[in-house]
Chains A and B, each alone.
Chain A
């Protein structure tokens, strides 16, 4: 049975912070497609389009019929753990620091026999449910879990390495003025966060929900304006060394496209918050988080951004906002690679239109802030890199993967 994770003690200031190591990084191109599936939280393996065989490890020719038409598809995640070992010696620095480490052989219901990480609550032999997780190096790994959820399952140290759980961690929510920001604060507290720092710009301007932020002793309201470099740097100077998770809820949204506006002033505001604000947060908090990627039970683990699904393909009704989202998405991709050295994940939570004042004229379905907040927590708890919230986001993703140019026409109709 997994021991429940205790709140970590205060950090001993006399001991140097452990520099983060990464598990083995190189992967073949075919294996990267597995990481792409894991990034969405999917369990997918190569399936031969000619003979239907499922094969693993990822490869370039079917071992049954030699076809090169292999494609990653979601497959059944059940299997049987048939052998196990506990590694107690390793030449790899990452694993060396985390020994003993349990792995096993699982025969998957869909065919192949695989090597996988094994959850502490499993005995051999037993039925398992497989998960495809991203390790600290951003690569997909297979994890064998008990078929039924067990008590404190998420606290297994091997499993916690593969997630970005807010439990016992200190989180910065960058904009607590909005409904989404406030919902995210509450959801993080419910998920066991130790402290939630809430960024508020222009505290002299009142906003709805201000009184509720004073309620919980785990909430600390901080002044933060993502359009002001000094404000971001000063806050990072204050709390950057204890920010384990950063959730960027800042978004400046106004309706309108390119020709429907007659100046770039509002676009500039959108880019200032949505793109440059993100960059400021990344530059101020990123290096500190990256250095703390292996800093104990409340190590820095994730930089989360909530952005519109229209980052993938411009939606004319909010055309200028979509453009800022596209830039935001590109910034996140770059940041993701840069934060990897510290084992800190950059998570993108893609949403459809939010149910707020600026989307008042948008037809439903629209997302309630609580739905987005739930998604943020789910992305953290699952270590899911690209999370798509709600029907619109999933619909746009599917169409974009199918044919992005057709989607462009549909979004500009």
Chain B
């Protein structure tokens, strides 16, 4: 028998959840963008292998190719659209046990979510960098981040999808907000988060290669066996605390990540 902190009874906990969902007391918010061919993906220097955008080829549509059915073949990078990064995705995480999507602990994929709203700062500065100080200031208003939480950095960047500003590519690289090394270290070492999520194409900022270490979110998160979520939407519909996030990636053999459906349960 598992522990029973609320003294309700485990079966009743789930019943309450089901009832809450049925009555609307608990809302389901979809944090996922639609996977489509024109959804932008991260751009790497041309001499490297690129992130293949989502592509769809219709196989039949109630026609001579298949009279009674409609289906498509799809192809994409593991890191296209709203997607999950596993520890094996980064060099720092190459030796983390259970570091690929097929063997991450399933219980880690459902957990409490906190939303750090830096949308105003990001609107003012596309290169906004979230630091430890920013997080501590948030905690003075909302309380400490609970353990094993998913920390979601809200920037309202998802509203820019479909415009050049979403990736913000210019002659000196991409421009979008993200964390620095200190912020991520703090979240891992002192708050024991499960994963970190953003609305942009990467957990790191657009100019992340110039921080130390380069791409600190990827480097530090995955080096510690933590997960990343990218291209999230509708974070503005979540409370700062109290939501539960459900984020299971596809179970791809030795996969480094995958597109996924991210849902939030909101009281």
Residues of A within 8 A of B (CB): 202-206, 225, 227-231, 263, 265-266, 269, 357
Contact = CB atoms under 8 A, between A and B. Distances in A.
Contacts of B53: 227-228
B169 interface: yes
A228 B55 CA distance: 6
Given A228-B37, A230-B37, A266-B49, A204 B56 contact: no
B50 to A, nearest CB: 7
B56 A230 contact: yes
Contacts of B50: 269
B171 A202 contact: no
A230 B35 CA distance: 13
A357 B45 CA distance: 13
B169 A205 contact: yes
A227 B55 contact: yes
Contact of A203 (B37, B52, B164): B164
Q: On chain B, which size bracket covers the interface?
A: 20 to 34
Interface string B144-188: 000000000000000000011011011100000000000000000
B199 to A, nearest CB: 16
Contact of A204 (B55, B58, B166, B171): B166
Interface in B34-69: 37-38, 40, 43, 46, 49-50, 52-53, 55-58
Given A225-B37, A231-B37, A269-B50, A206 B169 contact: yes
Main secondary structure of the interface of B (DSSP, over half): loop
Nearest to A268: B52
Contacts of B52: 269
A21 to B, nearest CB: 29
A225 B56 CA distance: 13
Nearest to B41: A202
A229 B57 contact: yes
Contacts, number: 39
Contacts of B58: 229
Interface of B: 37-38, 40, 43, 46, 49-50, 52-53, 55-58, 163-164, 166-167, 169-171
A265 B49 contact: yes
Contact of B169 (A204, A229, A357): A204
29 contacts: A202-B40, A203-B164, A204-B163, A204-B164, A204-B166, A204-B167, A204-B169, A205-B43, A205-B164, A205-B167, A205-B169, A206-B164, A206-B169, A206-B170, A225-B37, A227-B53, A227-B55, A228-B38, A228-B55, A229-B37, A229-B55, A229-B57, A229-B58, A230-B56, A231-B37, A263-B49, A266-B49, A269-B50, A269-B52
A228 B46 CA distance: 20
Contacts of B163: 204
Contacts of A266: 49
A229 B56 contact: yes
B171 A231 contact: no
B252 to A, nearest CB: 16
A266 B47 CA distance: 10
Which 4 A-B pairs rank lowest in CB-CB distance, beginning with the nearest?
A: A204-B164, A228-B37, A205-B169, A265-B49
Contacts of A225: 37-38
B65 to A, nearest CB: 14
Nearest to A358: B46
Contacts of A227: 53, 55
